[in-house]
Amino acid sequence: MKETFIWRVYSQPPSVEYQATTRSAAFGDGYSQEAPDGLNNEKQIWQLELWGHRDIDKIGSAKAFLRLRRRLGESFLWTPPDEPQGLYRCTKLSAVDELEGYLRLSCTFEQTFQP
């Protein structure tokens, strides 16, 4: 069973990019034809910034979760704002330690369609 990313302490609203995948064929007279590539031809790429106290808001646990999943290359379940739950991978993660135990995480979640 996949683990679920549950932290929702956003310092700003998450933003999404919808990326379409198509196949194209070019013909000699300059004509080209495009069609969707496969069943899952659109994926979501989310930019998130989480902020909170390492212990009180459990941001330290979120950082550990994302670092472990990135190292193992595993996807996890996450429910984006106004979207259904899906499988995602954390493809980029950076952390800034702030004063008095606060931590800011910037991460990129990319939708995936296999474990």
pLDDT tens digit sequence for 37-77: 888 889 999 999 999 999 988 999 999 999 998 887 889 99
Residue with tokens 């995948």: 21
101 within some domain: yes
Find the domain containing 91 and state its range.
57-106
Mean pLDDT in the chain?
91
82 within some domain: yes
Burial of residue 88, with CB atoms counted within 10 A of its CB: 0-12 exposed, 13-18 middle, 19 or more buried: buried
* Counted domains in the chain: 1
32 DSSP β-pair partners: 26
Q: What is the pTM of this model?
A: 0.85
38 within some domain: no
25 within some domain: no
